[in-house]
Structure 1
Amino acid sequence: MDCAKWASKDINIKYERRDNRNGYKAGALKHGMMHNDIKQCNYLAIFDADFQPEPDYLQRTIPFLIHNPELALVQARWRFVNVNTCLLTRMQEMSLNYHFMAEQQSGSTRHAFFGFNGTAGVWRIAAMEEAGGWKDRTTVEDMDLAVRVGLLGWKFVFINELSMQCVQSFSQNVKSELPSQFKAFRFQQHRWSCGPANLFRKMTMEIIHNKRVKIWKKVYVIYSFFFLRKIIVHFFTFFFYCVILPTSVFLPEVKIFELVNYIRSFYHHHLKCHCQSKVIVCTHAHRSFYLVVFWVIFENVMAMHGTKGTFIGLFEGGRVNEWVVTKKSGEALKTELLPESRKPRYGFFERVNPKEMIMGIYILCCAYYDFAFGNAFLYVYLCMQATAFLISGVGFVGT
C-alpha cells in the first residue's frame, strides 16, 4: 500500500478505517480529530477518496494560513478527469463552473462568506475548534462547519487557476471525478439539496439568538445564503419553468410575460446577478457554449429533485439523513492494482424514472395544446423541456 511505502521512508503517515458508519462523513471526521497526532497539528487538509491533489498542493496553500492569522480556510477549485465521458458529465461541469465562479470566486474576491466544498481544502484547526468542530446533525457537515466558522468572523479564500499556462506547469486545482450515471447523480443532488434545507431549519434560530454575530451578517446568512440560494432557487426553477409556464397555455387570460416581470421585480437583485453569472460562466467556457440550451433545460429537470429534497429537508422527511455514497467509475484513482470492474447492465424497466415520465408527458400535452390553440410560440420551449424529461425518464442519460 502507498501508506506503507511512505511509512518505510520515515514519513509520519497512518491509514485507518472505522468499524461503523455512525454519523457518516461527519462521524468519520470527528473520529479522526480525536487522535493525539491531530492535537499536535495546526492545519487540516481534507480530500475525498476520488480526489488527487497536486504534489505541491500544501506548499501552495499553507502559506496563506501562515501569513494571514484571520484566515480559517483555503479552498481549491476542482478539476474533472472525466468531463468528456458523456453529456451528463458536461452538464455537471457547467453547473459546477457556475458554482465556483459566481459563488466562491466572487465571494472570495469580495471578502464575503462562501461555503466549504467538503474536500480539497485546508482548515485552521483553531478556527474549527472555536466553532465547535464537526457536527453530524445533517448530511452537509461541510456547510455546517463553514457557516459556524464564518459567523465568528473568520475569513475564507478560494484559489482559482491563474492562467492557462499555469494549468500546464502547475494547477491549483484538485483532480476529481464526476458521477457518470444518472441514478448516482440523482442521489448526489438529493443530498446537496436536502442537507442545506435541513441545516437552514436547524440553524435559523441558532443564528438569530447568537449575540456574537452582527445583525447584518445574520440577515445575509439567513436570507441570501440559505433562503434565496438554497431554498427559493429550487422552488422557483421547478414550479415556474416546469409547472406555471406549461399550465399557462390553458389560461389565455394570464399574461405570462407580465408574470415574469412581477417575479423579476420581487427578486430583482438576486435574479439579475444569477442570470449574469450564468452568462459569464457560459461565455468563459466557450468550448461548451453550444450546450447552453441543453444545460438550461437539464437544470430544470434536476430542479424537480432539488425541490423534493428541499421539502424533505425543511420538514425532516424520512430520507432527510440518508447518505448514499455517490457511485463513480474510478477514473480519478484508477491503478494497475485494481482490476477493471464490469459495467452493470440494467433492463429498460429498471432504468425508467416515473416522476420524470409524468412531468414529460404533462409538458408535452401542454406543448401540443399551445401549438394547436396558442399564439405565443411557447410550444417550442415546451417541446424541448418535455423531451429532456422524457429522455431522463427512460434513463438514457449518462453512461
Structure 2
Amino acid sequence: EAGLKAADGKVLINSVSGEAKSLKKILPLAKKYGAAVIGLALDKNGIPDTAEGRLAIARRIRNAARRLGIPDSDIIIDCLTLTVSAEQKRAAETLRAIRLVKQKLGLSTVLGVSNISFGLPQRPLISSSFFSMAMEAGLDAAIINPKDKPMMDAWRSAMVLLNRDHQAAVYIEAYRSEQAGVSTTIPVSDSPPTIRERLSQAIISGDRDGIVGLVEDALNEGLVPLQISNEGFLPGLEEVGRRFEKNIFFLPQVMQSADTMQAGFARLKQEMKGQKFKSLGKILMATVEGDIHDIGKNIVCTLLENHGFEVFDIGKNVSAATIISKAREYAVDAVGLSALMTTTMSEMDNVIKKLKAAGIITFTMVGGAVVTQEYADRIGADLYARDAMEAVAKIKQLLESS
C-alpha cells in the first residue's frame, strides 16, 4: 500500500490470483487507489490443466472486481505461460485460454512469453513463434525483453498481419533503414514553407486529416484549383514516387499518400462547380477473364487518377469482348490489362490480338505478379509495368510523346 500511496499516475498491480485470500487483500487496494490489476489464472489448487479451468478463475476475479466497482478495463488476465519442455500440451491450452477470456469475458490479456522456452536450445525460436501465436489468439500485452531482436521482429510482423499496425507504419519505420545505401533524411529549409510546399509535404506524409485545411488555406491565399493540383499535389506525389523507387517508401505509404490526394481533390471538386481538370488521357483498366485478383489493378487506377488521368475501371474477370466494347465506347488512349496467375496471363495475348482485329487503335499496357517484360514484348504490348508507380511513369511518358 505504501507504494500505491507514493506512485504517480495509473498503477498496475502485479498481481491478484483467484484465491479468496488474495482477492480479499488486493482488490480493495486497487479500488481505493484507482489501480489496474493483473489477474493470474490460478488459485490455491495451482494452475488448471485446461483453458476452461483458467477461464473459470478469470471469471471469478472479474466478478469479485465488479462487486467492488472496479471496471473491466482495469483487469488484465494472465493466462500463464508454462515451460513447453516440461508440459508440452499446456502451450496449446494457454493459447486457447486467451481466446476464451477474450470471447467470453472481453478482458485484456497478458503473458510472460519467454517462460515457454525455458530449458530448450535456441530459445528465441520457440519464444518468438509462441509470441506470434499468442498475438493471433488475442494477446493484448506481453512481458518481453525489448532488446531481444527475434521477439521484436515477431511483434512487428504480427502487428502488421493482424491489422494492428496501421499502414504498417511501425514496421516500415523499423526496417526501411536496413535497406543498403538508403538515406531516410528529409532536407529541412531555414525559411518557412510556402503553401505549395505544405501541400506537397502533406501528400508525402499522408496527412489525410490535414489536407483539406491546407486546401482551404491555399484557396484563401488566392491559388486556383489547377495551381493547387499542379504545384502542390503533384510535386508531392512525384516525390513519393522517387522515394518508392529508392526503397525509402513502401506500398502502404504510397497508398496513404494517394488517399490523402483524393481527399484534397474532393475539396477542390467542390470549388470547381462542375468544371473538370484537363485529363492527361483516358485509360481503360481491367483484370482479364478468368482472373479474380484486382488489388494491384486498383492501386494502379488510384495513382493514375491522382496524376490526372481519366480512368475507366471495368473490374475483374472481364471478357475480351467487354474490353473491346468499352474501349470503343470510351474512346480510350490506352488499355491496361492485369493478371496474377500463369493460367490467365495468356488471355492478355488474346485481348491484344482482338483489339487489333477490331480496328481499335490504342496503346496497351500489361502488368501483374507473373507478367514480365519478355512476355509483354512477345504478345505485342506497348508497355510493361512491374508496379503501380512504374505504370504511371511509363504511361505518362508514352502519351506525352505520342
- The TM tier, using the shorter chain, reads under 0.3
TM-score for the superposition, normalised by structure 2: 0.26
Q: Name the structure, 1 or 2, with higher relative contact order (CA <8 Å, separation 6+).
A: 1
